[in-house]
Amino acid sequence: MNNNRLTDTICAISTPPGVGAIAIIRLSGADAINIANTVFHGKDLLKVPSHTIHFGTIRENNKIIDEVLVSIFKDKKSFTGENAVEISTHGSPYIQQQVLQLLLKKGAKHAQHGEFTMRAFLNGKMDLSQAEAVADVVAANSETAHQLAMEQMRGGFSNEIKKLREELIHFASLIELELDFSEEDVEFANRQQLKDLVTKLHEALHQLIQSFNVGNVIKTGVPVVIVGEPNVGKSTLLNALLNEERAIVSDIAGTTRDVIEDELNIKGINFRFVDTAGIRETTDQIESLGIKKSYEKIDQALVVLLMVDAVTISKEKLQSDVAKIRERISNKQKKMFVIANKIDKGNEQEVLQKFEGIDDVVFIAAKDNKNVEEITNKLYISVAEGLVNTNDTVVTNARHHEALSQANEYLLRVLEGLDQQITGDFLAMDIRQALYHLGQITGEISTDDLLDNIFSKFCIGK
Amino acid sequence: MNNQYDIIVVGGGHAGCEAAAAAANLGSKTLLITMNMDAIAQMSCNPAMGGIAKGQIVREIDALGGYSGLVSDKSAIQFKMLNRSKGPAVWSPRTQNDRMLFSKEWRLMLENTPNVFFWQDMVNELIFEDGKCVGVKTQIGIEFKSKAVILTNGTFLNGLIHIGEKQFGGGRAGARPSKGLTEQLVSYGFESGRMKTGTPPRVDGRSIDYTKMEEQPGDKNPGTFSYLDTTTKLTKQRSCHIAYTNQNVHDVLQTGFEKSPMFSGRIQGLGPRYCPSIEDKIVRFSERERHQLFVEPEGWNTVEIYLNGFSTSLPEDVQYKAMQLIPGFEKALMFRPGYAIEYDFFQPTQLKNTLETKLVENLYFAGQINGTTGYEEAAGQGLMAGINAHLKTNEKEAFILNRDEAYIGVLIDDLINKGTNEPYRMFTSRAEYRILLRQDNADVRLTEKGYKLGLASELRMKKVAEKKQHIEKIIKRFEEVSILPKEVNSYLEQQNSSPLKQKVKAISVITRPNIAIKELSLCNTKLSDETNLYTEDVLESAEILMKYEGYIKREKEVADKISRLDDIKIHDTIDYTKLGSLSAEAVDKLTKIKPSTIGQASRISGVSPSDVSVLMVYMGR
């Protein structure tokens, strides 16, 4: 049975698998420095100060495995909140394995998945939402997602929630005070002030909840769908877009990431094309608008590109297709663009007249790459300016979203209760539920917390 | 001399009395050993029963067939329903009691209970055999044998009284401490600690000028604790009064600080934050210019009064001087000075949910020995210990109350899972299902359970069945009867409630705030014909159920959801050290407390939700 507990010293290779220039092997636990010292030849690591880096060799029975740099982090001043050592080796997987095996021989335990983070969490270095954010950093595949995750790690998200929670605890304490200590000579909560506070909280949570939809798409990519009848040029457009963006991506300094097929990265935002395999295999995949399958794809996407043949489509058909999709996406945070393809094939006046009164039209000639750039601009702007506001806190985690939504539902009930002048016992019930759900993110709030708050602030007791 | 009993109860306070009565009423031959037969059920602190959250406990005890409610009613000199303006979940009955009468009534109740036997002596040793407790030895050298022993020693174990720089052994003022038991239990492996509580001076009522104070009379329409009709409502009552300290009082009190056992560190025990001494209050809340005091009569006829809020362990001369600066107390004479008392307790995490100790089988702890404070908390534990000692020794299934069933359940669950670092008092905020645990429905919640045990009488069972039926009838009537605008609008307007535009069912009007069942019934004869048939208690319960139906339903749903975790049993044999992903603290706490269900595990402090997930994963959930 694995008996990895807080008392063990754990180690693992912390850089991604494969060959890199260097690799980092991390040790954490009470004996981290001791264990590293037994295999390191150079300075005596037990005597060096915290946050220093040392050059030396890792040896097994005097046989040199590698030349390394060793970083020392002492007591609580490390990522995990315990003694930690990071050994930077050369990148060969063979060397990495040799060093790791040696450390295991010397008494370290192989870390379980997420165990460094768990220790950081258990040692109070981060709260639950921060720990989840660490995982998000590792998985982040776009600039914005990374930013978001970093912000969470720095406590951006948890700090805001913490502040709200403090205020709600205070509010809850006042209500509990009123219920349990009504005989005491203390002043009780003013209902109007309470109402103002709950209204404020409600609005703040509402904003956080709203940000979820946005936050989630940033992490996984904004889903885009191209719909249209056969032979309007969907696959040509897709290829044109992807080729276009390959060029753009490589223009950004330091960006060496491969563009994953059917995924576009425009200035840090990922766009994911839904079900493009179908488009590539056969242009007959989407037979006509109005069939169930098209609707399903529209439902999966945040941005819909309705592609039409600018020349052959009739005005009536155009209007009815646009109306059908608009209806399908109404009241949702979705955006539709009409892509009028093959403009080079017809009379410009006629085409323009046909599209009069229809919003968000982009005229292109996909085959010649004409004006395709306009689509990428529109995609970026629709998300960056329409949906995303990176200054606001963004909720990226479904669990957080759920908890916030629940908390907010109960805050609404509190407001209703206040309007109906309901008594404190019932108000308290909904406040407790709101606190409980908030607690799902930042840790639980117990009755003892409320009582502690009361006893520290109010003179209670006959 | 007969030295063989089924159950021995050590201690004759609120816990011991309830324990003895319950065990005996269930059929166990029960011996109550107390150091002083004349001091049974002493109110060592304030002469009152009930209050917020505590009144609910007294009603629960009554509903189950315990005696505290009846004794309180019989000795009451004033009745108040506290928190009337705050909502039905926190309405809390409280009585002022005649201290001497209270003690006398308890003794008579016990004397009239078949199977209760008495012995006056000090128990200073327990007899253990094969890890079981099988009896006690007393100071005068007698051995009593039994199948189970319940310890309810209150503040007596190594009790130490402090007044200023003086300190002396005592279980309370005027009583000897109990010696020997703590030492024996600690040597057996129990973990003991020290706690502290205090009490204010008792004053000569003839020397006080009440005209300088605010009078606090009892309720105009007083109720009773008991659901039975054997006790009746008070026809006359005695008032309490409110007085206030002032800066001069505080200044004089401060002159005694250097002799204070609290501030000098002579008292090591932990005192309750919600029942601080007056010196503690003026230090911790120095910005307050005055503190409220309650002047409570100690009985119908006695002139002695209890100066509630002035608890102190300062030197008696400082107490005296300071007291005489309180308006109305200028010429006050003191009967007994205030004092602090330190005593031994045992962390209640050493108990099972039956209050049996984990270390020694058939040994039960109840009351202040478990780190609680309050007569009601003690009585509730005593009742449960008495019931469970009887059930265990008769090889019957344990009797456990859940957190959504009773404050008594909340109390015991909190104690055994969280332990306590200060004297534990019940608050309504400790109950997560406060809406369900009301004083009006303790009988509906519990009497059937008490009846099935054989503790609550046939009469109680009949009464509660009738009550339920009446409530149903009223609600049905309110659902059926339509009420016309012209019948009700003048009443609605009077209550600042918007008038009706068309006829509606009565139930939709009763759910409005400020609309009362009795007044609404007066508007419509079909309603009043129905409501006139029933008692006020029944009307009150029916009104609460109709008015707050949505809230009550939601609270029940939450309780049901959570209680599913209590259905997942954890086997005793589980080795937590083998579960790698548990936090070290969780392993430690779980190993120590040995929760019997996942629900219980989740309530242990130090066990995080992720630890609970690990447990569930381990158990294949």
Residue B68 and residue B75: Cα distance in Å, rounded? 11
| pLDDT digits 0-9 by tens, A373-399 | 889 888 877 776 555 444 455 666 656
Q: CA geometry: angle at B380 spanning B378 and B384, to 5°? A: 115
A4 contacts in B (CB within 8 Å)? Answer: 580-581
Chain length of chain B: 621
Residue A408 and residue B147: Cα distance in Å, rounded? 55
Tokens of B351: 């108990």
Residue B593 and residue A129: Cα distance in Å, rounded? 29
Q: CA-nearest residue of chain A to B306? A: A462
A406 contacts in B (CB within 8 Å)? Answer: none
> Is residue B377's pLDDT more than 70?
yes
B241 neighbors B213 (Cβ within 8 angstroms)? yes
Going by their DSSP bridges, the two strands A269-273 and A222-227 should be labelled as parallel
Going by their DSSP bridges, the two strands B192-199 and B339-346 should be labelled as antiparallel
Residue B198 and residue B307: Cα distance in Å, rounded? 12
Report CA Rg, chain A.
29
Q: Which residue's structure tokens are 């996984």?
A: A220
Q: Which residue's structure tokens are 């359970």?
A: B449
Determine what percent of chain B is predicted with pLDDT higher than 70.
98
Asked if A423's CB is within 8 angstroms of B584's CB, the reply is no
Q: How far is the CA of B581 from the CAs of A45, B92, B95, B608, in angstroms?
A: 30, 45, 52, 12
CA A186 from centre of chain = 45
B190 neighbors B346 (Cβ within 8 angstroms)? yes
Average pLDDT estimate for B53-76? 98
Tokens of B312: 């102190």
Q: Which residue's structure tokens are 């609580």?
A: A76
CA A370 from centre of chain = 35
Residue A272 and residue A253: Cα distance in Å, rounded? 23
Mutation target for B interface from A179, A181, A438, A448: give the one with most B CBs within 10 A. Answer: A179
Asked if B609's CB is within 8 angstroms of A426's CB, the reply is no
Nearest to B373 by CA among B316, B311, B295, B432: B311
Q: A6 to chain B, minimum CA–CA distance in Å?
A: 6
Q: Which helix (H) or strand (E) holds A58?
A: strand A52-60
Nearest to B96 by CA among B221, B282, B238, B250: B238
**Residue A332: what pLDDT?**
60
| pLDDT digits 0-9 by tens, A191-237 | 888 888 888 888 888 877 777 666 666 666 788 888 888 778 887 88
Tokens of B298: 């100690």
B154 neighbors B381 (Cβ within 8 angstroms)? no
DSSP A181-220: -TTSS-----HHHHHHHHHHHHHHHHHHHHHHHHHHHHHH
**Residue A259: what pLDDT?**
35
pTM listed for this prediction: 0.74
User: A146 pLDDT band (50/70/90 cuts)?
Assistant: low
> Is residue B495's pLDDT more than 50?
yes
Cα torsion B142, B143, B146, B148 to 10°: value is: 90
> Is residue B48's pLDDT more than 70?
yes
Burial B10-39 (b: 16+ CB within 10 A, else e): bbbbbbbbbbbbbbbbbebbbbbbbbeeeb
Name the residue facing B427 among A180, A423, A426 (closest C-beta).
Answer: A180
A460 contacts in B (CB within 8 Å)? Answer: 273-274, 276
**Residue B588: what pLDDT?**
87
Residue B113 and residue B103: Cα distance in Å, rounded? 16
Asked if B281's CB is within 8 angstroms of A426's CB, the reply is no
Residue B91 CA neighbour count, 13 Å, CB half: 20
A184 contacts in B (CB within 8 Å)? Answer: 292
Average pLDDT estimate for A122-144? 57
> Which of A85-99, B213-227, B403-417, B605-619 has the weakest average pLDDT?
B605-619
A311 neighbors A342 (Cβ within 8 angstroms)? yes
Tokens of B398: 């344990």
> Is residue B483's pLDDT more than 70?
yes
> Is residue A249's pLDDT more than 50?
no
User: A460 pLDDT band (50/70/90 cuts)?
Assistant: low
Q: CA-nearest residue of chain A to B310? A: A462
Name the residue facing A3 among B53, B514, B578 (closest C-beta).
Answer: B578
The angle that helices A424-442 and A398-419 make with each other, rounded to 10 degrees, is 170
Q: Which residue's structure tokens are 């889903």?
A: A223
**Residue B285: what pLDDT?**
85
Q: B96 to chain A, minimum CA–CA distance in Å?
A: 14
Tokens of B158: 């190594």
DSSP at B23: H
Tokens of A389: 């506001």
Asked if A428's CB is within 8 angstroms of B83's CB, the reply is no
Tokens of B367: 């009351």
Name the residue facing B281 among A179, A446, A459 (closest C-beta).
Answer: A459
Asked if A176's CB is within 8 angstroms of B83's CB, the reply is no
| pLDDT digits 0-9 by tens, B429-470 | 999 899 999 999 999 999 999 999 999 999 999 999 999 999
Q: Which residues contact B52 (CB under 8 A, 6 or more apart)?
A: A179, A180, A181, A182, A183, B82, B83, B90, B92, B94, B427, B428
Task: Tell me what percent of chain B is helix, strand and coil, each rounded to the nearest 5.
Answer: 40, 20, 40
Name the residue facing B89 among A122, A425, A448 (closest C-beta).
Answer: A425
Cβ atoms within 10 Å of B116's Cβ, excluding its own? 21
Cβ atoms within 10 Å of B573's Cβ, excluding its own? 5
Burial A81-119 (b: 16+ CB within 10 A, else e): bbbbbbbbbbeeeebbebbbebbeebebbbbeeebbbbb
DSSP at A66: E
A5 contacts in B (CB within 8 Å)? Answer: 580, 582, 584, 587
> Is residue A29's pLDDT more than 80?
yes
Q: Which residues does residue B8 pair with via DSSP β-bridges, in sequence order? A: B31, B149
Nearest to A109 by CA among A212, A35, A171, A37: A35
Nearest to B165 by CA among B249, B250, B263: B263
Asked if B276's CB is within 8 angstroms of A424's CB, the reply is no
Q: CA-nearest residue of chain A to B52? A: A180
How many residue pairs from chains A and B have C-beta atoms closer than 8 A?
117
> Is residue A253's pLDDT more than 50?
no
Q: Which helix (H) or strand (E) holds A54?
A: strand A52-60
B59 neighbors B225 (Cβ within 8 angstroms)? yes
Q: Which residue's structure tokens are 């309530």?
A: B603
Name the residue facing B429 among A5, A447, A459 (closest C-beta).
Answer: A447
| pLDDT digits 0-9 by tens, B138-189 | 999 999 999 999 999 999 999 999 999 999 999 999 999 999 999 999 999 9
A167 neighbors A407 (Cβ within 8 angstroms)? no
